[in-house]
Amino acid sequence: MLKKKNFDTYKKSADYILDKIKTKVEIAIILGTGLENLLDEMEDKIEINYRDVPNFLISTTNNSEGKFIFGKLSGKKVICMTKRFHYYEGYDFDELVMPVYVLKLLGVEKLILTNAAGAVNYNFYPGDICLIRDHINFAGVSPTRGNNLAEFGERFYPIDKLYDEKLRKLAKKSAIKLGFEVKEAVYFFTVGPFFESPSEIRAIRTLGGDLVGMSTITETLTAGHCGIKVLAFSVATNYSSDRIENMDGTEVEDVAREVSPKLKNLILKIIEEIDD
């Protein structure tokens, strides 16, 4: 049977969260691998487990459960999602719209995303903090395929300005104030969960991909549909498979954790300076 997206389903999830946090919230953050330490900085926290939110997706990884954490960062109201949902976990693309549509119904206007990615471009190295300026999705999948929810946006919509230029400028300026530079990157989406073959990596490089990863685009494409501005960071955690001897992914979490204090400070600075 054809699966349908349903506005009331998302509304029910959002109403549950709004009832707990008692306010709308304009800024959301979805945290990627190894970047959870941002949560240590949050004040006046209210935590809501995904499993308690009606209709919400259930995390398939049980090492630490996914939560919404509402609170203040740099004095501003923010809602964080501690775990994201990936296609490789088995969700369908039309299920993966849910978190962002729910965020939209909470009042979110700006979405900050972080992820870990492989460094494909020869000028990118493990440890680099990168700003996604565009992506390539050649996986043949689309989160907004299927029935269009007009409450959120138009059937057909542009994605040429998906990664908000103003927010990227702010991010670059904030990084310089903190004494480092961020590289702008084109993120190439792969479905995973396997890492790429060397020949795939060479093709990705030829096509213009700087980084490769298995997340984020479902969220950005959904944000584009419902008019949320996106600022997306990748931490390059490893060389792509044609640049190293053993591509086993073991360094991904370690490198993300090593870099996370720097990225945390950058995100705090950006939130401090972001327009209301």
Q: Which residue has the tokens 């997706």?
A: 57
- Contacting ligand HPA (CB under 6 A), which of 102, 212, 226, 230? 212
Q: In this structure, what are the phi and psi dihedrals at residue 213, rounded to the nearest 5 degrees? A: -165, 170
Q: In terms of Cα–Cα distance, which of 138, 100, 111, 135 is closest to 222?
A: 100
The residue sitting closest to ligand HPA, measured at its beta carbon, is: 118
Q: Which residue has the tokens 């549509």?
A: 101
| Between 111 and 252, CB nearer to ligand HPA | 252
167 lines the binding site for ligand HPA (CB under 6 A): no
- Contacting ligand HPA (CB under 6 A), which of 98, 232, 252, 267? 252
- Contacting ligand HPA (CB under 6 A), which of 34, 66, 213, 224? 213
Interface with ligand HPA by CB under 6 A: which range of 61-69, 98-106, 112-120, 216-224? 112-120
Site string for ligand HPA, 123-162 (x = CB under 6 A): ----------------------------------------
Question: How far is residue 130's CA from residue 177's CA, in Å, rounded to a whole number?
Answer: 16
Distance of CA 2 to the CA centre of its chain: 27
Indicate the pairing of strand 43-49 with strand 67-73. antiparallel
The count of other CB atoms within 10 Å of the CB of residue 105 is 21
Q: Is the dihedral of CA 250, 252, 255, 257 positive or negative?
A: negative
187 lines the binding site for ligand HPA (CB under 6 A): no
- Contacting ligand HPA (CB under 6 A), which of 93, 124, 187, 195? 195
- Contacting ligand HPA (CB under 6 A), which of 117, 129, 131, 204? 117
237 lines the binding site for ligand HPA (CB under 6 A): yes
Interface with ligand HPA by CB under 6 A: which range of 34-42, 110-118, 148-156, 158-166? 110-118
Helix (H) or strand (E) holding 174: helix 165-177
The count of other CB atoms within 10 Å of the CB of residue 109 is 15
238 lines the binding site for ligand HPA (CB under 6 A): yes
Q: Which distant-in-sequence residues (6+ apart) come within 8 Å of 25 by Cβ? A: 70, 77, 78, 79, 106, 107, 108
214 lines the binding site for ligand HPA (CB under 6 A): yes
- Chain contacts with ligand HPA (rule: CB under 6 A): 116-118, 190, 195-196, 212-214, 237-238, 240, 252
